[in-house]
């Protein structure tokens, strides 16, 4: 049985909603996004994710006239039955206050119509900020967003402390976009818990440092299990980004099947796993037997196929 | 005639150079001179090719104020790049042009294809002529740069225009037998690496031998194409005698990127070097007729690496044979 999730994508005009949607779900590369035109009213996209999960993306045009419409005449239609709202802020926006007020209105409308929806905010286009100031700017913007979220949530007496789940900084030019979307998607996939449980067992059997499960088309991280601490907490989205770039660059001629990268201190296997996933197994031993590991991956496949 | 005596001296030096093969003193390493107008992209090219800067970041690169020298050194590649800022004339007496261009192996002139290049071409012809008079063995290369901004037809046209303009200018200066090679380049795709590879290959003395060895290796192990890469710069030092398909070279570059990126996440040890003597990667790709691509990679030093592509339908049988063979082969090269 397939389950549908309604995902609203909102934000000021030109903040990058369609760009990020195209990169994650439609295999665009960052450079191509400059060709995208503004979205008129609402663009609907159905994305099949992990086989039976269908994301119904509502990419809402951000021009003011559309926004007014959404908030007044189309209010019910837009904000009913929403599972997730993703609100995109342009970090360099000159009218951030105004953006925030629109955000507040949207959030109020959302909480009225679908009080259970989860809200994620992306502070986008972070690449335009100099690297030294990124964290600082993000913190400032995040505080603003949280303040307005609270304002919106107060009259509705929501049980949650804050209407917004999480703020992310993102940029289409680096891996932060994958981080944000992986976290969002993680909340949408059913039985992630069981999958992680199984992955942990599998990791223990293989004596692997780490196992990561990726969605096949988007290469977003669905689940992961680690048996040893790794110093780099951003590695998942980095790997997503690396492999996705590689997949895209060789897409016109070939399709990736599997990959084995090693040196003396590690050995990493990336392989097609179930019909909807790729798996990555990282072993500490650089001399790990290739055939044995690949066989193990193959044998684990049916167990995970049952889960989907 | 002063010109004549110059040439003779040059010949003698070249001879010495060949003899001192093993104990090569530091200052005989050939140089690659980069020249071009202001803002034509010289520094960006250097940063992208040799320092792994991502092309988007080059927008923030500041203009170079003084002559910048850099050494590129690995097992087969060993040269120095010298970049002259656009506003500076490299043939100014204070800069000792004779010495600079005596050592020069290749002279790159970068032309901004998106700009008006008539001035640039005049300047270039002048520089080429001067350099040619100092050292006639220099390889002259023109990078018609920033080609990413042009349409497909425009690119070819621009290259053609530049070619003719340069020819005219050189004719006016009275120089006839000066060979110039033209490359269309952009830092946003692989063309800059390809062009630089061609430039560097001219400086590698072992090139014919390497080519032969790669041919032998291909025959012996059922490999259809193999490259010898400098891992850090993605320059290919040599390949077998078969023609190079651009798409395959691009694929190889991407494979190197993936390998390095993953290695730097999981494999960088205490020193932070993602590459060591056990580094290897096998990447399998499928196509409708189950073509497979292999990059069996093993290194003869930390920098160079072999990469070979096997196209076959029986991928599984070969996977076990290629790696040991290639390792053996690369040992042969390193000695």
Say which of B258, B276, B291 has its CB closest to residue A242.
B258
Write out the DSSP string of A190-227: TTHHHHHHHHHHHHHHHT-SEEEEEETTT--EEEEEES
Contact between A296 and A205 under an 8 Å Cβ cutoff? The reply is: yes
Q: How confident is the model at residue B274 (pLDDT cuts 50, 70, 90)?
A: low
pLDDT digit string, tens, across residues B159-208 = 888 888 888 888 888 877 788 889 988 888 888 888 988 888 888 777 88
B59 touches chain A (CB under 8 A): no
The DSSP bridge partners found for residue A211 are A225, A281
* The pLDDT value given to residue A172: 80
Residue bearing the bigger pLDDT, B5 or A119: A119
- B31 C-beta neighbours (distance < 10 Å), count: 22
A262 touches chain B (CB under 8 A): yes
* The pLDDT value given to residue A95: 81
Distances from the Cα of B222 to the Cα of A11, A273, B4, B309, B317, angstroms? 56, 29, 51, 10, 11
How distant is the Cα of A189 from the closest Cα of chain B, in angstroms? 27
Provide, rounded to the nearest whole percent, the portion of chain A with pLDDT above 70. Answer: 93
Chain B hits for A246, Cβ within 8 Å: 254-255, 257-258
Write the burial class of residue A221 (CB in 10 Å: 0-12 exposed, 13-18 middle, 19+ buried).
buried
DSSP tag of B241: S
Q: Across the interface, do B250 and A249 touch by the CB < 8 Å criterion?
A: yes
Q: Which two tokens stand for residue B207?
A: 């090139």
Maximum distance among all alpha carbons in chain A?
64
Helix, strand, coil percentages for chain A (3-state, nearest 5): 45, 25, 30
Say which of B250, B254, B263 has its CB closest to residue A261.
B263
Q: How confident is the model at residue A184 (pLDDT cuts 50, 70, 90)?
A: confident
For residue B36, give the 3-state DSSP assignment.
strand
A264 touches chain B (CB under 8 A): yes
B283 touches chain A (CB under 8 A): yes
Instruction: Using the Cα atoms of residue A194, residue A200, residue A205 and residue A210 in order, give the sign of their dihedral.
Output: positive
Residue bearing the bigger pLDDT, A289 or B270: A289
Q: How confident is the model at residue B299 (pLDDT cuts 50, 70, 90)?
A: very low
Contact between B97 and B90 under an 8 Å Cβ cutoff? The reply is: yes
* The pLDDT value given to residue A251: 64
φ and ψ at B246, to 5 degrees? -55, -40
The residue of chain A nearest to residue B279, with distances taken between CA atoms, is: A263
The residue of chain A nearest to residue B54, with distances taken between CA atoms, is: A173
Q: How confident is the model at residue B1 (pLDDT cuts 50, 70, 90)?
A: very low
Out of A145-154, A248-257, B98-107, B322-331, pick the least confident.
B322-331
How distant is the Cα of A27 from the closest Cα of chain B, in angstroms? 17
Q: Which residue has the tokens 């003869």?
A: B300
Over the Cα atoms of chain A, what is R_g? 20
Residue bearing the bigger pLDDT, B176 or B273: B176
Q: Across the interface, do B277 and A264 touch by the CB < 8 Å criterion?
A: yes
Write the burial class of residue A205 (CB in 10 Å: 0-12 exposed, 13-18 middle, 19+ buried).
exposed
Q: Which two tokens stand for residue B33?
A: 């001179």
A231 touches chain B (CB under 8 A): no
Chain A hits for B322, Cβ within 8 Å: none
Write out the DSSP string of B131-149: HHHH-TTPEEEEEEE-GGG
DSSP tag of B74: S
C-alpha A245: how far from chain center: 16
* The pLDDT value given to residue B271: 59
A131 touches chain B (CB under 8 A): no
B263 touches chain A (CB under 8 A): yes
Q: Cβ contacts of residue B4 below 8 Å, gap of 6+?
A: none
A248 touches chain B (CB under 8 A): no
- Please report the number of interchain residue pairs, chain A to chain B, with beta-carbon separation below 8 angstroms: 100
Q: Across the interface, do B274 and A282 touch by the CB < 8 Å criterion?
A: no
The Cα B206–Cα B202 span in angstroms is: 10
Q: Which residue has the tokens 């004719």?
A: B171
A35 touches chain B (CB under 8 A): no
Mean residue pLDDT across chain B? 73
The Cα A264–Cα A266 span in angstroms is: 6
pLDDT digit string, tens, across residues B41-58 = 888 888 888 887 888 778
Q: How confident is the model at residue B294 (pLDDT cuts 50, 70, 90)?
A: very low
* The pLDDT value given to residue B276: 67
Q: How confident is the model at residue B329 (pLDDT cuts 50, 70, 90)?
A: very low
Q: Which two tokens stand for residue B292?
A: 């497979």
Choose the mutation target among B148, B231, B267 for the interface with A, i.e. most A CBs under 10 Å: B267
Contact between B150 and B112 under an 8 Å Cβ cutoff? The reply is: no
Mean residue pLDDT across chain A? 81
Residue bearing the bigger pLDDT, B17 or A108: A108
Helix (H) or strand (E) holding B324: helix B315-334
Helices (H), B142-272: 152-172, 191-201, 207-221, 246-266
Closest CA to B227 of B189, B184, B256, B186: B256
Reply yes or no on whether the pLDDT at A267 is more than 80: yes
Chain B hits for A286, Cβ within 8 Å: 267, 278
Q: How confident is the model at residue A165 (pLDDT cuts 50, 70, 90)?
A: low
Chain A hits for B266, Cβ within 8 Å: 209, 230, 235, 266, 268, 282
φ and ψ at B259, to 5 degrees? -60, -45
The Cα A47–Cα A25 span in angstroms is: 7
Provide, rounded to the nearest whole percent, the portion of chain B with pLDDT above 90. Answer: 0
Distances from the Cα of B285 to the Cα of A255, A256, B142, B302, angstroms? 5, 5, 36, 26
Say which of A209, A246, A254 has its CB closest to residue B287.
A254
The Cα A119–Cα A85 span in angstroms is: 5
ipTM: 0.78
Instruction: Using the Cα atoms of residue A239, residue A244, residue A249 and residue A255 in order, give the sign of their dihedral.
Output: positive
Q: Which residue has the tokens 């450079």?
A: A31
Residue bearing the bigger pLDDT, B9 or A40: A40
C-alpha A169: how far from chain center: 12
Residue bearing the bigger pLDDT, A205 or A150: A205
* The pLDDT value given to residue A9: 86
């Amino acid at each position: 049985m397939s389950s549908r999730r309604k995902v609203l994508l909102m934000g000021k005009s030109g903040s990058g909603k369609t760009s990020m949607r195209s990169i994650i779900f439609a295999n665009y590369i960052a450079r191509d996004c400059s060709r995208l035109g503004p979205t008129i009213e609402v663009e609907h996209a159905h994305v099949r994710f992990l086989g039976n999960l269908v994301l119904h993306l509502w990419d809402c045009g951000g021009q003011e006239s559309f926004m007014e419409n959404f908030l007044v005449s189309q209010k019910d239609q837009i904000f009913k039955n929403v599972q997730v709202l993703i609100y995109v802020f342009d970090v360099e926006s000159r009218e951030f206050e105004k953006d925030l007020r629109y955000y507040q209105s949207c959030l109020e409308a959302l909480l009225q119509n679908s009080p259970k929806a989860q809200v994620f905010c992306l502070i986008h286009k972070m690449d335009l900020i100099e690297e030294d100031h990124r964290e600082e700017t993000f913190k400032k913007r995040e505080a603003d967003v949280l303040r307005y979220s609270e304002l919106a949530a107060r009259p509705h007496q929501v049980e949650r402390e804050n209407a917004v789940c999480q703020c992310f900084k993102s940029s289409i030019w680096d891996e932060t976009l994958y981080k944000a979307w992986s976290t969002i998607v993680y909340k949408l996939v059913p039985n992630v818990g069981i999958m992680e449980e199984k992955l942990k067992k599998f990791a223990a059997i293989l004596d692997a440092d780490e196992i990561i499960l990726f969605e096949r088309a988007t290469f977003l991280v669905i689940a992961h299990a680690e048996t040893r601490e790794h110093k780099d907490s951003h590695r998942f989205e980095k790997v997503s980004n690396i492999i996705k770039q590689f997949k895209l660059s060789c897409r016109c001629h070939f399709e990736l099947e599997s990959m084995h990268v090693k040196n003396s201190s590690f050995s990493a296997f990336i392989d097609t796993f179930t019909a909807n996933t790729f798996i990555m197994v990282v072993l500490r031993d650089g001399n790990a037997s290739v055939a044995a590991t690949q066989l193990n991956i193959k044998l684990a496949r049916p167990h995970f196929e049952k889960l989907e | 005639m002063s010109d004549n005596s110059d040439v003779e001296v040059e010949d003698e030096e070249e001879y010495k150079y060949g003899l001192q093969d093993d104990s090569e003193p530091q200052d005989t390493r050939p140089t690659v001179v980069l020249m071009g107008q202001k803002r034509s992209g010289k520094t960006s090219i250097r940063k992208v090719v040799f320092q792994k800067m991502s092309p988007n970041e080059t927008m923030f690169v500041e203009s170079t104020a003084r002559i910048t020298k850099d050494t590129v050194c690995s097992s087969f590649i060993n040269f120095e790049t010298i970049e002259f800022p656009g506003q500076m004339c490299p043939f100014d007496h204070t800069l000792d042009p004779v010495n600079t261009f005596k050592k020069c192996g290749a002279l790159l002139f970068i032309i901004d294809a998106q700009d008006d290049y008539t001035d640039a071409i005049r300047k270039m012809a002048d520089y080429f002529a001067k350099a040619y008079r100092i050292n006639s063995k220099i390889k002259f290369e023109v990078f018609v740069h920033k080609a990413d901004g042009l349409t497909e037809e425009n690119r070819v046209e621009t290259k053609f225009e530049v070619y003719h303009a340069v020819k005219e200018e050189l004719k006016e200066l009275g120089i006839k037998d000066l060979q110039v090679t033209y490359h269309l380049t952009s830092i946003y795709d692989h063309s800059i690496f390809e062009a630089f590879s061609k430039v560097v290959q001219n400086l590698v003395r072992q090139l014919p031998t390497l080519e032969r060895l790669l041919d032998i290796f291909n025959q012996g192990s059922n490999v259809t194409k193999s490259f010898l890469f400098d891992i850090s710069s993605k320059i290919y030092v040599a390949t077998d005698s078969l023609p190079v398909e651009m798409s395959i070279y691009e694929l190889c570059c991407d494979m190197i990127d993936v390998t390095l990126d993953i290695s730097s996440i999981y494999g960088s040890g205490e020193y932070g070097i993602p590459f060591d003597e056990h580094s290897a990667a096998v990447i399998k790709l499928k196509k409708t007729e189950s073509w497979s691509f292999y990059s069996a990679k093993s290194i003869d030093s930390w920098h160079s690496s072999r990469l070979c592509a096997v196209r076959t339908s029986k991928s599984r049988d070969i996977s076990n044979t290629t790696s040991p063979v290639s390792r053996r082969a690369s040992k042969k090269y390193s000695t």
